[in-house]
Structure 1
Amino acid sequence: MDRTTESGHPAMDLRSRRRVLLSAMLGNVVEYYDFGLYGTLAVIISRQFFPAGDGTAALLSTYAGVVLSYALRPVAAMVLGPLADLKGRRFVLLLTIAVMSVGTAGIGLLPTYAAIGIAAPIVLLFCRVLQGIGASVEYTTAANFIFEHERGNRRNYLAGLSVASTSVGPLLATLVSYLVITAMPTAAFNSWGWRIPFLLAIPMALVGIYIRRHVEETPQFRQMAELAERSKVKQTPFRTAVRDHWGAMLRAIGLGAGQRVGSFVIQAYFVTAMVKAGFAESNALLASILTYAVGPIPAIWGGKLADRYGARIPVIAGYGLFVLLTVPTFLAIGSGSLPLAVVAVVAFTFINNFVGAPLTTAYVMSFPAEVRASASALNYNVGTTALGSTAGLIAVWLFGLTGTNATFGWYMTGVCVVSILVALFAMPAAVDEQRRQSIAEA
């Protein structure tokens, strides 16, 4: 007898399931390549697109571009999230990968400040806005796409695969940057070589679009669309999500707060922190490569543990380690010892990805299918904008104020304490659903 999904549709064969996973994960790779590249080359971008003379001001302006692109993400989520509930997950996934890549390739084509003056940073920020719009619902819609194509009996493991793919994009971004920096003369890289990593987003996007065009819409969405067509009732997913599910959205934001900060430290600040601590740019990039290379392992492991034992154990364990080790991580970066700094940033990444799977499940599966894309996009982007996107800016500001990155470490420690309290007293039920199903089946 053929297996069926929870919605009553026939389950996919193994080949189709793999194609769905690949299509969703490849979009994550492109998204995090785009954003990881900007963070990895932040020091270089600040030299190219902002006036010379005040390196700190230029770097702050570069990170302000990060904040701006993310400040618009909740607004974009209010449009694209409901669009995924009304027009389909697949439709929006095709749209997001195209818009993201246009923004990234645009940076690679822009004239510098030396060529066009103040227009350079303005157009740079416009490209960042395009990246932010495209990325606003990419991650949650891709995770939703995976969940709705599966039977639902291994959600955290699948979420772990999704988190793992977010390490591949920055790994590629950092590896490409490292190879270009080390292979080219410094003058050539500063003149035009820095553009190469940004332009590589074009072929990556074309591959992603091709694969996504050849996968089917999710069974749950098709069923919802059929019901909506028969009922003739106007669908208002965003309004319904805000009215009926605001409490679940707040719990998901609080639960993911510490990891949101940690993710952006990895993606957009570790390289900068190491360079400012006196390490060569090539060594800082090499350390970043190692963090992304090990990233998939804890993501998948954390997902498996969450499915088997419940989400509270990996979430509380991970955040507990953050509370203990975040300040020492930044002290290690400032120690002047390259081995110590590398070990610290790799351990930090391991912890951050370990808690990622159950958090992804909470972001997406805490809501019913008819509002899932709207609610997940909104809670994820509000948390990411308010806490994640400001991390690099706060870190640079605190360093300038105190002369040490340990101050920012204390800031992140406080955020992680909030997430622990949510995990203890307000854990979203969806992340523990698989454990209850496994117990019931046993």
Structure 2
Amino acid sequence: MDTPAHAAAETAALARATRRRVYASTMIGNVVEYYDFTLYGTLAAVLAKLFFPSADPMVALFSTYAGVSLSYFIRPLGALLFGPLADRRGRRGVLILTLSLMSVGTAGIGLLPTYAAIGAAAPVLLLFSRVLQGLGASVEYTTASQFMLEHEPGSRRRNYLAGLMNATCSVGSLLGSAVAFTLTVTMPASAFESWGWRIPFLLAIPMAFIGFYIRNRLDETPEFEEMKRQIDAAEAKQTPLRDAVRLYWRDMLKAIGLGAGQRIGSYTIQAYFVTALITAGFPTSLSLLASMLTYVVGPLPSIWGGVLADRYGARLPLLVGYGLFVVLTVPTFMAIGSKSIVLATAAVVAFTVINNLVAAPLNIAYVLSFPPEVRSSAAALNFNIGTSLIGSTAGLVAVWLHDLTGSDVSFGWYMTAACAVSALVAIFALPASVDYREPDWATVPRPGRRPAAAPHS
């Protein structure tokens, strides 16, 4: 017969196993999302030749980056579709759907015929694949973050967990750039441009199977189940999208403004630095190595920023990070144009450390600024509107400014201005989610009434 101590030990072991599965399930989708994002940006120059042939290489490259922007412009639509679905039906089912769409979109690129084979239909199919990937990624990050945090409501290490979530972005990006780099240096250039470029995109298929296996073995979050129980008991009708926009638009604007600088920074790291380094005259292999190094160092400041936010409050890493960005962003792009690969690499690595330092409290602001009954809808909207309008357009702005001025320093000033705005939001309008606490279900109002905001730190 089991003793109470033995039963308690088994319960604790089961809880640890569940927690590990939850962490793995959220991280695998993040890895797939950022693997694709970085892979597409890293191979932009190759894809430009294969799908957007043009006498002007800048036009072809601009068209390729338009594919990145398209996958982001479609994300608010995905937020409108899948955010409310996650609020009504649960986070777990939506996470399985998002992984499916992202995987089909990524692997589909590896199967597409090129412009030389089918003409104008090739870029159309490429952009369609980006649309599928964008729809899947639209709520992946925010829903996966909710899934993790709602399994540990009220945790004192919520920023640490959010930082851990962001660290997997670097893992996915590192995997994407490492695969691309390995193939480019081990294959003849003609073979890589003929068929080798397809391999990295097709690798999304086995990653997806692993993700499906893990996510299918998980239960819904306890916080969502309790929320649904309360709403069903009250026979209340859920209108999460309407309530999110009507009651929480101010909080969404705060989150968008708070993350503006970091959204541009993330895009720059994952999709533009390689292009900037190559355009500055550095060899492709060295440019890819410099990019890969940013992903190697990326996880540590993500986690460190979360630890600092849990211990000292979110304003500390936010103001330190954005303050450093205001001072160092322009010098970063000056270093890229210096013709010194050592100086350029040091600059992009320092840029990455700063960018990831602020990620954890931003993730909390994106997700936990809203009560559970509208959380998925509100988080998906604020994150995707900010990412689409501010983050995804960064590549187009960078290419345009470089073509206009002949230098990437002008783009550095553009990002500096965005970081200054984000710093002001951190000082004067920090979202209440910084002091998020486990909800008292006896006092949470029914949908349609706005609960009292938690105090700022």
Query: How much does 1:68 deviate?
Result: 1.1
The residue aligned with 2:85 is: 83
Spell out the pairing of 1:12-51 with structure 2 (5 A cutoff).
13-51=15-53
The residue aligned with 1:121 is: 123
Q: Does the CA-based 8 Å contact 1:140-1:373 persist in structure 2? A: yes
The residue aligned with 1:67 is: 69
Deviations 1:318-373 (CA, angstroms, capped at 9, x unpaired): 00000111001111111111111111111100100000000000000000011001
Query: How much does 1:232 deviate?
Result: 2.9
Q: Does the CA-based 8 Å contact 2:368-2:436 persist in structure 1? A: no
2:360 to 348, 357, 362: 357
Q: Any idea what SS the aligned residue of 1:269 has?
A: helix
- Measured in 1, the distance between the counterparts of 2:316 and 2:232 equals 43
Q: How many residue pairs end up in the alignment?
A: 427
**Matched letter for residue 171 of structure 2:** V
The residue aligned with 2:178 is: 175
Query: How much does 1:433 deviate?
Result: 4.2
Query: How much does 1:201 deviate?
Result: 0.3
The residue aligned with 1:440 is: none
- Measured in 1, the distance between the counterparts of 2:362 and 2:21 equals 24
The reply to whether residue 327 of structure 1 matches residue 330 of structure 2 is: yes
The residue aligned with 1:298 is: 301
- Measured in 2, the distance between the counterparts of 1:219 and 1:90 equals 12
- Measured in 1, the distance between the counterparts of 2:435 and 2:396 equals 35
- Measured in 1, the distance between the counterparts of 2:116 and 2:349 equals 37
**Matched letter for residue 49 of structure 2:** R
**Matched letter for residue 243 of structure 1:** R
The reply to whether residue 211 of structure 1 matches residue 210 of structure 2 is: no
- Measured in 2, the distance between the counterparts of 1:107 and 1:49 equals 11
2:381 to 372, 378, 383: 378
The residue aligned with 2:404 is: 401
The residue aligned with 2:455 is: none
The residue aligned with 1:7 is: none
**Matched letter for residue 175 of structure 1:** A
Spell out the pairing of 1:1-400 with structure 2 (5 A cutoff).
13-151=15-153, 152-400=155-403
**Structure 1 residues 255 and 69, CA, compared in 2 at 3 Å: closer, same or farther?**
same
**Matched letter for residue 66 of structure 2:** A
- Measured in 1, the distance between the counterparts of 2:434 and 2:21 equals 25
Report percent identity of matched pairs.
64
Deviations 1:219-261 (CA, angstroms, capped at 9, x unpaired): 0111122233333332110000000000000000000000000
Q: CA RMSD, aligned part only?
A: 1.4
- Measured in 1, the distance between the counterparts of 2:37 and 2:132 equals 11
Runs of 5+ unmatched residues, structure 2: 6-11, 438-457
Q: Any idea what SS the aligned residue of 1:427 has?
A: coil
| Higher alpha-carbon deviation: 337-346 or 45-54 | 45-54
The residue aligned with 1:439 is: none
**TM-score, normalisation: structure 1:** 0.95
- Measured in 2, the distance between the counterparts of 1:401 and 1:307 equals 44
The residue aligned with 1:5 is: none
Q: Any idea what SS the aligned residue of 1:404 has?
A: coil
Query: How much does 1:83 deviate?
Result: 0.5
Q: Does the CA-based 8 Å contact 2:37-2:270 persist in structure 1? A: yes
Q: Any idea what SS the aligned residue of 1:279 has?
A: coil
Deviations 1:286-321 (CA, angstroms, capped at 9, x unpaired): 111100010000000000000000000100000000
- Measured in 2, the distance between the counterparts of 1:316 and 1:50 equals 42
Q: Does the CA-based 8 Å contact 1:11-1:150 persist in structure 2? A: no
Q: Does the CA-based 8 Å contact 1:72-1:129 persist in structure 2? A: yes
Q: Any idea what SS the aligned residue of 1:102 has?
A: helix
Q: Does the CA-based 8 Å contact 2:160-2:303 persist in structure 1? A: yes
Query: How much does 1:11 deviate?
Result: 11
Query: How much does 1:34 deviate?
Result: 1.1
| Higher alpha-carbon deviation: 321-330 or 146-155 | 146-155
